[in-house]
Amino acid sequence: MGSGRSAEIFALDEQWVLRRNRHGGDTAEEVAVMAHLAAHGYPVPAVRAAEVPSEMVIQRLYGKTMLQAFVSGEITEEAAATIVAELLHSLHKVPARVSTHPQDRILHLDLHPDNVMLTAEGPMVIDWCTTAEGPEGLDWAMTALILAEVAVVPCPPEAGPQVAAMATGARMMLTSLLERRGSGIDLDDAGSGCLARARARRAEDPNLSPEEIGRLDEAASLVATLAASTSPLLSADNNTGG
């Protein structure tokens, strides 16, 4: 049915799919987190454990990913950024499942347009294999950094217009996203804080190519520069901490 860098998807029927992790690993934590989020009304597909630890059964979703909708011109950069920001804000209002630290929240740590499905019932967040608990600023930093990585992709003439369009669109989306962060989300220093932690996590991602890892410093610098020149639209009263 489909595959990504870390998993393969197989259709079971019209309502369910099976996801198999390419590199093994236990999906129990991911299943537990998604069930916790669903119980608090967060938009995730229904999920249940499979017989094999490295597999999980997930509700089959119908629709395009936000990335597909953006490429086809069905959604603008600003609209996409607004949805992603709302998903981050609402995620960080859900209480942590394990941690007792008052500032810790459930984090996705890979929430970007290709992990948001636009369904008839609304946006749904998929692929929770990187989930953790911690300060919400780390989640914002990861999303911002991933967008920045696309924004700094080299665009020589031979790369074609689509590559340049994606880079431009990612930068516009990033700027719009940063405007929608809470005032307590500090991302204007690439050398410390949540942005530095996000860069370190991305550098350890086995799914990134050497070329992608080589652009992380430039991407982090772009996030810091845009964050420093962008005023958040939300006050601290709208934040949950971080």
- Percentage of the chain beyond pLDDT 70 is 94
Under the phi-then-psi rule, with left for phi > 0, alpha for psi from -120 to 50, and beta for the rest, what region is 101? Answer: beta
State whether 133 and 222 are in the same domain: yes
State whether 41 and 119 are in the same domain: no
> What DSSP character marks residue 108?
-
| CATH for 17 | 3.30.200.20
State whether 19 and 134 are in the same domain: no
Question: Is the pLDDT at 239 greater than 60, yes or no?
Answer: no
Model confidence over 29-70: pLDDT tens digits? 999 999 999 999 999 999 998 888 889 999 999 999 999 999
State whether 76 and 149 are in the same domain: yes
For position 240, what pLDDT does the model report?
42
State whether 26 and 101 are in the same domain: no
Q: pTM here?
A: 0.92
- The b/e string for 174-206 (b: 16+ C-beta within 10 A; e otherwise) is bbbbbbbbbebbbbbebeebbbebbbebbeeee
Integer Cα distance of 41 and 34 in angstroms:
11
State whether 54 and 165 are in the same domain: no
> Where is the domain boundary, 36, 59, 82?
59
For position 7, what pLDDT does the model report?
76
> Where is the domain boundary, 39, 59, 79?
59
State whether 128 and 48 are in the same domain: no
Token pair, residue 126, equals: 């998929």
State whether 231 and 156 are in the same domain: yes
State whether 52 and 109 are in the same domain: no
Model confidence over 66-110: pLDDT tens digits? 999 999 999 999 999 999 999 999 999 999 999 999 999 999 999
Model confidence over 137-165: pLDDT tens digits? 999 999 999 999 999 999 888 888 899 99
Task: Write down the H helix ranges in 40-160.
Answer: 66-71, 77-91, 136-151
Our count of domains for the chain comes to 2
State whether 116 and 28 are in the same domain: no
Q: Domain span at residue 207?
A: 64-238
State whether 122 and 196 are in the same domain: yes
State whether 135 and 207 are in the same domain: yes
Model confidence over 114-136: pLDDT tens digits? 999 999 999 999 999 999 999 99
> Where is the domain boundary, 10, 33, 59?
59
Interhelix angle for 161-179 vs 77-91, to 10°?
A: 50
